[in-house]
Amino acid sequence: MATLKDVARLACVDVSTVSRALNNTSYVHPDTKARIFAAVKELSYQPNVLAQGLRQGKRHTIGVVVPRLHLTLFADITQSIESESRKLGYATLICHTEDDPVIEKECLNRLRNGFVDGIIIAGTGRNGHLLRDIHAGGIAVTQIVRKQEGTISSVIADYDACGYDTVRYLYSRGCREIGLINGTTSLAPYRERYNGYHRAMEELGLTETCATSPMPGNNFEYGYQCTEDLLNQNPDLDAIMAAVDIQGMAAIRALKDRKIRVPEQIRLVSLTGHSIGGLLETTMTSLEIPAHEMGEKATHMVIDEIEAPSDNKPSVQHLVFSASLVERESS
């Protein structure tokens, strides 16, 4: 990563001159300024406005980057982060990316340039280099829900156990044809849920039925189409595991449209439940992720890193929370 000294060396000027030119704080000859900006462009130098702000005092603001808020676990987590941050004297800036790496990159660059002291992110995994660069530049970072970067602290749930334990639970209820609606395995939680599902199905000698839908995105339409796919693959299906609540809600609708009764004919479990599951017409059994506790812990971790001396930053931590099975009508 290029530094102010690198720019000064390439432009053949003092560091102070580069600083004055970039901050426009005093006169710099136009020819000299042109050389400086040419060096900035050649080196892809990114001025760390946040570092400048820190020298004047912390901004006491945390950026929160999540895929979406509507009807998701992330809404509960974000609320927890915002509430805990306020208690600790910090404000929050919320960015939602719809899991678009281009939008995520734009959000991260905006946040790094002077708005925040730290970032809590549920990332796409497609901007790892940028995230590591931001962290190396002195901005505190904690990953939430998704552990994509091993060198950056994280707070996640045991998704492998969610997949494994749910198969075992459904098996104990008499199910033998268990289907899985999942998301892209490029994201760690979906990959780990499948790993748990696969291991349990193999141990029990059961045949896997996994949804395959070309429809992009983790939304109601995606869950509906995946349910149709599962039923077309295996007409004898007697249970469906949905990776997240919105998929489970869509599955209930798809089953109802086919006049398949839940749970009499097909049992249904969400692997990542939050409060919405208990409000449905057919309440949904789910593995409840401790969203508020995870949000609080991530907040403390990022603030501890912000407030630690630069020569004594906390070690990288990877915390894993367990989910709890909440039985409702759908199983």
Torsion of CA 290, 296, 302, 305, to 10 degrees: -120
Helices 30-43 and 15-23 meet at what angle, rounded to 10?
Answer: 90
Q: Is the dihedral of CA 111, 121, 127, 135 positive or negative?
A: positive
What DSSP letter does each residue of 268-325 carry, written as one string? EEEEEE-GGGGGSSS--EEEE--HHHHHHHHHHHHHHHHHS-TTSPPPP-EEEEPPEE
On average, the pLDDT of the chain sits at 91
pLDDT digit string, tens, across residues 193-234: 999 999 999 999 999 999 966 665 678 999 999 999 999 999
Residue at 183 is within a domain: yes
Average pLDDT estimate for 244-261: 95
What DSSP assignment string belongs to 182-193? ---TTSHHHHHH
- The pTM of the full predicted model, rounded to 2 decimals, is 0.81
Exposed e or buried b for every residue in 91-106, given b needs 16+ CB within 10 A? ebeebbbebeeebbbe
Looking at the fold, whether 69 and 101 belong to one and the same domain comes out as yes
CA distance 17 to 27: 9
Residues in contact with 4: Cβ distance below 8 Å, sequence separation at least 6, in sequence order: 15, 18, 19, 45
Closest CA to 330 of 267, 274, 281, 271: 267
Rg of the chain, C-alpha, whole Å: 24
What is the C-alpha separation between 197 and 308, in angstroms, rounded?
41
Give mean pLDDT, residues 174-190: 94
Q: Which long-range contacts does 34-42 make (Cβ < 8 Å, 24+ apart)?
A: 35/11, 36/7, 36/11, 38/11, 39/6, 39/7, 39/10, 39/11, 40/7, 42/10
Question: Would 328 be classed as within a structural domain?
Answer: no
| Residues 103 and 164 placed together within one structural domain of the fold | no
Residue 210 neighbours by CB under 8 Å, 6+ apart: 179, 180, 182, 194, 230
The last residue of one of the domains, among 14, 29, 47, is 47
Q: Say whether both 124 and 243 belong to one domain.
A: no
Region 249-254: mean pLDDT is: 96
Residues 264 and 176 in one domain: yes
pLDDT of residue 54: 47
182 and 273 in a common domain: yes
Top-confidence residue, 62 or 115: 62
**Beta-bridge mates of residue 287:** 325
Domain that holds residue 83: 51-157+291-321
31 and 62 share a domain?
no
CATH of the domain at 124: 3.40.50.2300
CA 331, CA 328: separation in Å to the nearest integer? 6
Same domain, 225 and 275: yes
Half-sphere exposure (Cβ direction) of 140: Cα atoms closer than 13 Å: 30
Q: Closest by alpha carbon to 275, among 328, 224, 239?
A: 328
Q: Are residues 163 and 152 in the same domain?
A: no
As a whole number of angstroms, the distance between CA 5 and CA 180 comes to 54
Residues 152 and 78 in one domain: yes
Torsion over CA of 94, 99, 105 and 111, rounded to 10 degrees? 10
Q: How confident is the model over 59-104, as pLDDT tens digits?
A: 889 999 999 988 788 999 999 999 999 999 899 999 999 999 999 9
Q: How confident is the model at residue 41 (pLDDT cuts 50, 70, 90)?
A: confident
Q: What is the mean pLDDT of residues 100-118?
A: 92
